Structure formats: C-alpha cells, structure tokens
Amino acid sequence: MKKTLFSLLNYVFLLSILYTLYGALRSSLLDISTINDKIWILLLFLVFIICIALYSENTRLYTLKKISMCLDFFKKNIALITRLLFFLTLILQVILLYYIHVPIGWDVDGIHASVSELIKNSPDSIASIYLSKNPNNSLFFFLMYFISQIGNFFHHSLGYSWMYWQLVNTIFMDIGFIFIFLAAKNLFNKQIAYLSFYLAFIPLALSPWILVIYTDTIMLPVIGFIFWLYSLAQKNNNLALIVILGTSIAIAYLLKPSSIVFLVAYILIKLLILMTTSKKIELKKLILIILLFCLPLAGTVKLFHLFEDHQKLIVLDKDQAKPWQHFVMMGLTGSGGFSEEDTQAILSIPTKEEKINYANAKIVERLKNYGFTGYTKFLMKKHANNTDRGDFGWGRDGGPQVYVQSTDSIQTFLRDTYYQQGEKVKTVRFFMHLMWIITLVGLLFITRKKYKDDDFDALLAIFKLTILGAFLYLLLFEGGRSRYLIQYLPIIYMLSANGYYLRFSTSRKRMNIN
C-alpha cells in the first residue's frame, strides 16, 4: 500500500512539474529578441572563441583537459571558493544598493509608511488603517518596527531609510542561502548542499528582489532555519530542538500562513508511514514529541494575538480585516490574482460577518458561472500564471520605481538594469528564467529515483507533497503571478538539487562500470 501511494505521489508530481516546465518554456521571458544587443555580441564572441578552441583535435583535447582541471580544482576547493564568492557578493550587494535603493510600492510601502510614521512619533492613523485591513502583516510590521528602532539607535533617520530597509532585506536573503545549505547538508549530503546553495544563490543574490523587503523574501531564512532545526532534531534526537521547532513554525505561520504547507505534508506522510509500518511504536515518546511541538506552536500564536490585543502602538479595527474568503474570491477571477474591484468591494462592507457572507456568495456565483470544464481550464491557465516566470513576477505588482534623475553614469546604468521600467532589466529576467528552467529540470530528475522504502524516500515524499500542496494552495487562493513561489523556494531548490545529484551520480556509476 505504501509503495503504491508513494508511486502515485511520484506520478502526480511528475505530471505537475511537466506542465509547469511546459508553461515556463512558453513564457514571454524567453523572447530572445528583448535581450540587449551588447549581450548578444558578448555571447557571439564567446561562441567564436569556443569554435576556435574546438576546431582541431589537438586544441579540442587541450581545451577539454583544461576544463577538466578547472572542474577538479573547483571540486577540491569548493568550500573556499564558495566562501570567497559569498563574501564578494556581499560587497557587490552593498555597492548595488547604494546606487539603486528606491521606494517600493504596494504593501511594502504600506508597511514602510506605517513604521516610519510611528518612529517619527506622528499620529498612528496610517499604521492602524493599514493593519486593520491587513492583519496578516501584523508580525512583519512589528518586526520591522523593532529593526527600524535598532537603526535609529545609530542614527536618528536611519531606521526608516529605504537603503537601510533594503540592506536588511538583503541580509535576510543571504542568511536564507546559508540555512538552505546547512539544512541540505544535514538532511542529505554535502554535494546536495552545495547544489542547493548555488541553485538559490545564483538567480537571487544579485536579483531585483533585494529591493523588496516583504513576507515573500523574508521567508527564505525562516523556512531555511526551520528545515535546519528539523535536521538537527532528527540527527541529535534532541527534545529541546522540538520546542524551538514548534515556536519557529508558529512564527512562520504568523508571518505568512501559506508558508507552512510543508507541515501538512509532513503530517500526512508520517501518518501514512505509521499506518503501514509493522514496527512497534513507542507511544509515550510519540505523545511527548507531539506535545513538545504543538504546545509551543499554539502558545506562540496565542501569545502574539494577546500582544496584538493589548499593545498601545496601533488601534486595530477587526471589522475592517479582509477575511480569508476574500482571497479565495479574488483567486477566482481574471488571472487568479489581485483584483482592485474585489478589494474595494470587500473594504466597503462595514462588518466582518457581512464581508464573509459577501465573499462566500461571490465564490459560489463564480464557480457556477465557470462550470466544471470552464473551471478546469481556468485552473490550468492560473497554474501557468503562478509558475511560468523565473523572475518571480518582478515588476508585475505596483508601478514603475520613482526616483530623482542622476548624472552618475553608473547609477543610470544600474537603474536601467534593475528597475522594472528599465530596458536592460529584460536581460536580468531572461537569466533568472533560465535558472528557473534549470531548477524545474532538476525536479523532473528526482522522479526517476527507485523506491526503497527508507527515511530518505519519506523525506523526498514530504518535499514533493509540499510542492504539490503549494501549487494547490495558489490555485485555490490569490495567485496569478509567481511571486508567491518565493516562500517555497528553499524546498524547491533542495529537491531539485537531489534530482541533479541522482542524475549525475547515476551517470558516473554507469561510466565506471563501462
């Protein structure tokens, strides 16, 4: 039974990734006509050099020998090289942010304006209004308020400067890369850890997303940290780590509820294993672990809500809050993403109960209008909208970046490369999308693994079910753009790295046999 269910999961995962890859290959980001002419000249020059190097057998053998030597050198010194690249990137990130830091709109601006207002001791109307409507961002607001106060300790205006906020965001992302590496190393092995690290680091470390400090990018370190904690708890059988793990998952839930899909996947896979195993279960130990995990999780969520109710910084009007049904309602119209019309309609309704009733009625109405065939077609199109952009929808939300004109040629060039209205940003998007396709191919490779009914298979099943659950969540709720995938990237990258490791290790074994 277990083998059958694991195989079924594998086939569903395979079909899902195949369709996702199909959408990515049809993405407008692969339109090579949008790539900057100078990039094409550089690529043609490289192709010319390669053709010369491979023209004769002697030069071909010499080139291949040198490439092999370089690869061997990289493998032997990968730890040192990775540290140097990471340190160099940190410097580049600071330089980059110095030139391109800029206000970001929508919810990011809402949080920034709310925090800045409180720090300046102004009336708290913006914070109260914003968080009354968007209570899901409350923990993120208080976190950024605390971080901004730290900045103000060093300089009175540092805490609410965009340069500071975006530097904090970049540090969060860098910490996320480290935790992805550490988690993959403990859960799998060092080779998979390095693959996971580079799959995350290459497309994101110098991407436009360093500018957007929000609950998407901030989940990279949070989810990475959770899986690192889980790996330590499994490795050391430490009950204290279970308590910290429960607390960490509660924080992840409060920051972004959709990010803990992996917990549902973990419970389902573990229940399946318990029901199909013949081994004797230590019931007392199992109950203890469940209590040590669930009590801190529930307690942390409860404590935060008590803090919300008793804090004096802002005044929350719970009748203004958008109910979760609102996001399901928005997910059923247009591209399956944000709807200004739905948002204004829900905000105009005075009470929470009336908001829920309105959203429920709209959900039923839209499902009836679609019918089974129409809804199926809509979901297929929506999944493509959710997953077909490897730039993770950079610039799809909000308007163009607003900035003061500069006479600095370096700043002008970097702005044109990173801002969503820039001409050269198309090249950045193209590169990020190629990395996304590479990641999806790695996910395809993992479906070829032979079933062995061990802990490794169970862990891979949890990862696969998490990704399927993430896809399903985005189909049912507000989606419509691939920005929402960022919260799941640690799991996606680690699973993709497993796929490449399986593919290459199998190839090496065959070569050795031959």
In this structure, are residues 361 and 507 in contact, taking their beta carbons and an 8 Å threshold? no
Could you tell me the residue range of the domain that residue 414 belongs to? Answer: 2-34+77-316+388-397+405-513
Structural domain includes residue 380 = no
Length of the chain: 514
| Residue 397 reports pLDDT greater than 80 | no
Which tokens sit at 6? 């694991």
Instruction: Name the nearest CA neighbour of 386 among 272, 485, 258, 288.
Output: 485
Which tokens sit at 174? 């860098």
Structural domain includes residue 91 = yes
In this structure, are residues 176 and 221 in contact, taking their beta carbons and an 8 Å threshold? yes
Tell me the C-alpha distance between 384 and 24, whole Å. Answer: 8
Q: How confident is the model at residue 514 (pLDDT cuts 50, 70, 90)?
A: very low
Report the pLDDT value the prediction gives residue 118, as an integer from 0 to 100.
81
Structural domain includes residue 378 = no
183 & 282 share domain:
yes
118 & 191 share domain:
yes
Helix (H, G, I), strand (E, B) or coil at 102: coil
110 & 164 share domain:
yes
pLDDT tens per residue, range 171-207: 999 999 999 999 999 999 999 999 999 999 999 999 9
H helix runs in 388-424, sequence order? 409-418
59 & 111 share domain:
no
| DSSP classification of residue 100 | H
What is 447-464 written as a DSSP string? TTPPP--SHHHHHHHHHH
Task: Return the amino acid letter for 81.
Answer: I
Report the pLDDT value the prediction gives residue 401, as an integer from 0 to 100.
86
In this structure, are residues 139 and 158 in contact, taking their beta carbons and an 8 Å threshold? no
| DSSP classification of residue 280 | P
347 & 421 share domain:
no
Structural domain includes residue 477 = yes
| Residue 396 reports pLDDT greater than 80 | no
| Residue 510 reports pLDDT greater than 60 | no
Structural domain includes residue 379 = no
Q: How confident is the model at residue 444 (pLDDT cuts 50, 70, 90)?
A: very high
Q: What total number of domains does the chain contain?
A: 3
pLDDT tens per residue, range 24-41: 999 988 877 766 667 767
Structural domain includes residue 382 = no
Structural domain includes residue 383 = no
Report pTM: 0.93
